[in-house]
DNA sequence: GAGTGGTCTAGACCACGAT
DNA sequence: TCGTGGTCTAGACCACTCT
């Protein structure tokens, strides 16, 4: 209807999607035979369309009864950047670059980035604030080969948005989280006391099968609680 | 072959699965027409079988070339229990019950468990060790209605295994993680110093759409680093 | 009994990749 | 040119639910 060129199963799929988007969970979707009539296609074609929506988690089939809008599934946390995370909390995210330069990768960073020691990496150290108050210090190390001209382009507000623009938005990450107390230097930057509780967060972020970012952050524990959703429920 | 009763697409699917299990990523799977011949079924039946394995992430189709064993996908962390987590680290998990009784839910616990204040909950406090050394103190609150006779049955070694036996294995959880310093009481139990860094971990665990467990744990930061995998990569 | 989704057949034509 | 997966047809029978 809308697209003469579109594949039939795509047409049916998008028609059903538009029908049920916004509908309450449990609402009935059109029956398969009804869609066969409406689009004048074979039932297998309709099933192909519906299968996609079922896999997506939008629809749920109940044999003998029909097809219905599925209850939204609880899913694992999406990978978010600091900027997005603060926005979600209703806080204004700001960053102050303390350091941004080309360095030779040390042994730890090289291993984490799948590079050889001495390879060029970009080291970017920022003091990050939320609503104007220090929240964390982040040291990010980036694989320079993947993002040529990054330093010259001027530092972006959001690292993940900048990576996204290069088609390297991280989609998977391995994080480690531990508790510690602030060193004197950290306490100074974070405007807190030496010995105050801090959360240390390390991340190894992957995009397109390549490790693009390795970072170490230290958060003021009095300002930051990490939230994680794990697993998946039908 | 193996099962006369089995549906044809299941037979084909399991045959292909057995063929490619253990095969290196990139190895070719049988072509669809080859399977049509072998099983004497229609091509749509073979496609149904292969579709399932593709959705599962086991196979990958490349138009014009064939179907191949997919590279293992990076997925988000599974929901694990303390016992499983320590096993994964090669440590011996032990628990010492400090308290296990029926209580009336306070406001916080009631809200977290979707109950009304004053409803019966099971409060289970344990000192957990790893290789004999204190690792954390955990206070778990369980919805008694979902697990009648739990206290009388004798406390199990693993809470999650006990829930699993009742068909209530948590599949999804909402965790919060923050850093703090140990109180005097905590330090005593954990055999560390008052003011030492600790990781506070709260969990709200869901099984079958019902909140079954709410817990608060405090880990010795010198012994415990949390690992989390986020997102998903094709 | 009427309607639903689940399974299955025996073909067909297409675009694409390899040779 | 040949083999591959992608799409599509026009039927069929089944088990199940609802009324």
Task: Give buried/exposed letters for B139-177 (b at 16+ CB in 10 A, else e).
Answer: bbbbbbebbeebeeeeeeeebbebbeeeebbbbbbbbeb
Q: What pLDDT band is residue A122 in, cutting at 50, 70 and 90?
A: very high
Residue A230, in any domain of the structure: no
A51 shares contact with chain B (CB less than 8 Å): yes
Residue B32 sits in the same domain as residue B113: no
Does residue B140 contact residue B213 with C-beta atoms inside 8 Å?
yes
Best residue of B76, B167, B194, B201 to probe chain A, by most A CBs closer than 10 Å: B76
Cβ contact B176–A225 (<8 Å): yes
Does residue A82 contact residue A128 with C-beta atoms inside 8 Å?
yes
Which of these three, B24, B48, B69, is where a domain ends? B69
* pLDDT recorded at residue A152: 86
How much is the pTM? Answer: 0.88
Nearest to A41 by CA among A9, A70, A68, A10: A9
Best residue of A78, A228, A229 to probe chain B, by most B CBs closer than 10 Å: A228
Residue B228, in any domain of the structure: no
- Residues A46, A231: Cα–Cα separation, whole Å: 31
- Residues A16, B194: Cα–Cα separation, whole Å: 60
* pLDDT recorded at residue A112: 97
Residue A131 sits in the same domain as residue A63: no
Q: What pLDDT band is residue B152 in, cutting at 50, 70 and 90?
A: confident
Nearest to B217 by CA among B127, B149, B92: B127
Residue B107 sits in the same domain as residue B199: yes
Q: What is the β-pairing status of strands B93-104 and B120-130?
A: antiparallel
Residue B23, in any domain of the structure: yes
Residue A111 sits in the same domain as residue A204: yes
- Residues B150, B163: Cα–Cα separation, whole Å: 10
Alpha-carbon distance B116 to nearest alpha carbon in chain A (angstroms):
23
Nearest CA in chain A to B229: A174
Residue A99, in any domain of the structure: yes
A8: alpha, beta or left? (left if phi > 0; alpha if psi -120 to 50): alpha
Secondary structure element (H or E) that encloses residue B4, with its range? none
Q: Which nucleotide is nearest to A6 (CA to C1')?
A: D7
Residue nearest to nucleotide C2 (CA to C1'): A64
Q: Which nucleotides of D are covered by protein (CB under 7 A)?
A: 3-12, 15-18
B42 shares contact with chain A (CB less than 8 Å): no
* Interatomic separation, CA of residue A68 and C1' of nucleotide C4, rounded (Å): 12
Residue A58, in any domain of the structure: yes
Taking CA A218 as the corner, what is the angle to CA A215 and CA A222, rounded to the nearest 5 degrees? 145
Note down the domain range covering A135. Answer: 82-220
- Give B113's contacts (C-beta < 8 A, 6+ positions apart): B105, B119, B121, B141, B143, B211, B214
**Own/partner pairs, B156-159, CB within 8 angstroms, 24+ separation:** B157/B83, B157/B95, B158/B81, B158/B83, B158/B84, B159/B81, B159/B124, B159/B213
Nearest CA in chain A to B171: A231
Q: Which residues pair with B227 in a beta bridge?
A: A176
Residue A116 sits in the same domain as residue A215: yes
Indicate if the pLDDT at residue B3 is higher than 80. Answer: no
Residue B86 sits in the same domain as residue B65: no
Of A175, A209, A226, the CB nearest to B178: A226
* pLDDT recorded at residue A154: 80
Residue A58 sits in the same domain as residue A87: no
Q: Which nucleotide is nearest to A45 (CA to C1')?
A: D8
**CB-strand contact A38/C, under 7 Å:** no
Q: What pLDDT band is residue A2 in, cutting at 50, 70 and 90?
A: very low
Which of these three, A25, A47, A69, is where a domain ends? A69
The CATH number given to whatever domain includes residue A119 is 3.40.1410.10
- Residues A119, A128: Cα–Cα separation, whole Å: 27
Cβ contact B175–A227 (<8 Å): yes
Sheet strands (E) in chain A:
59-62, 66-69, 93-104, 120-130, 133-143, 172-181, 197-207, 210-220, 226-231
Number of domains in chain B: 2
A64 shares contact with chain B (CB less than 8 Å): no
Indicate if the pLDDT at residue A67 is higher than 50. Answer: yes
Backbone angles phi, psi at A182, to 5 degrees: -70, 140
Best residue of B80, B230, B233 to probe chain A, by most A CBs closer than 10 Å: B230
Residue nearest to nucleotide C9 (CA to C1'): B42
In 10 A of CB A192, how many CB atoms?
18
Secondary structure element (H or E) that encloses residue B231, with its range? strand B226-231
The residue-averaged pLDDT of A216-229 equals 97
Residue B37 sits in the same domain as residue B89: no
Residue A59 sits in the same domain as residue A87: no
* Interatomic separation, CA of residue A118 and C1' of nucleotide D12, rounded (Å): 68
* pLDDT recorded at residue B27: 95
Of B77, B174, B180, the CB nearest to A179: B180
Residue B64 sits in the same domain as residue B99: no
A38 shares contact with chain B (CB less than 8 Å): no
Mean pLDDT lowest for which of A87-101, A145-159, A204-218, B115-129? Answer: A145-159
Residue A94 sits in the same domain as residue A203: yes
**CB-strand contact A169/C, under 7 Å:** no
Residue A234, in any domain of the structure: no
Q: Which residues pair with A101 in a beta bridge?
A: A123
Instruction: Tell me the CA distances in angstroms from B104 to A80, B142, B173, B213, one per residue in order.
Output: 38, 11, 23, 15
Q: What is the β-pairing status of strands B93-104 and B226-231?
A: unpaired
Residue B92 sits in the same domain as residue B14: no
Residue A14, in any domain of the structure: yes
**Percentages of chain A per state (helix, strand, coil), in multiples of 5:** 30, 35, 35
Residue A206, in any domain of the structure: yes
The CATH number given to whatever domain includes residue A61 is 1.10.10.10
Which tens digits make up the pLDDT trace of B90-109? 999 999 999 999 999 999 99
Burial (CB count <10 Å: 0-12, 13-18, 19+), residue B1: exposed
Instruction: Tell me the CA distances in angstroms from A17 to A54, A56, A58, A66, B109, one per residue in order.
Output: 11, 11, 8, 16, 39
Does residue A213 contact residue A166 with C-beta atoms inside 8 Å?
no
Indicate if the pLDDT at residue B6 is higher than 90. Answer: no
């Amino acid at each position: 209807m809308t697209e003469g060129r579109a594949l039939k199963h795509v047409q049916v799929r998008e028609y059903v999607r538009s029908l049920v988007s916004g509908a309450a969970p449990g609402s009935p979707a059109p029956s398969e035979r009804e869609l066969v009539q409406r689009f004048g296609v074979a039932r297998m074609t309709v099933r192909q369309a519906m299968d996609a929506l079922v896999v997506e988690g939008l629809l749920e089939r109940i044999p003998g009864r029909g097809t219905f809008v599925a209850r939204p599934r609880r899913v694992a946390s999406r990978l978010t950047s600091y900027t997005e995370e603060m926005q979600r909390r209703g806080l204004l995210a700001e960053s102050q670059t303390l350091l941004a330069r080309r360095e030779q990768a040390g042994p730890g960073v090289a291993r984490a980035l799948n590079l050889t020691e001495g390879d060029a990496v970009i080291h970017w150290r920022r003091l990050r604030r939320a609503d104007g108050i220090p929240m964390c210090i982040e040291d990010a190390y980036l694989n320079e080969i993947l993002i040529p001209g990054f330093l010259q382009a001027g530092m972006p507000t959001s690292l993940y948005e900048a990576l996204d623009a290069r088609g390297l938005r991280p989609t998977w990450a391995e994080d480690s989280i531990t508790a510690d107390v602030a060193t004197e230097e950290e306490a100074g930057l974070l405007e807190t006391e030496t010995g105050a509780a801090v959360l240390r967060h390390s991340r190894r972020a992957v995009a397109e099968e390549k490790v693009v970012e390795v970072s170490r952050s230290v958060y003021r524990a009095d300002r930051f609680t990490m939230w994680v959703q794990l697993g998946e429920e039908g």
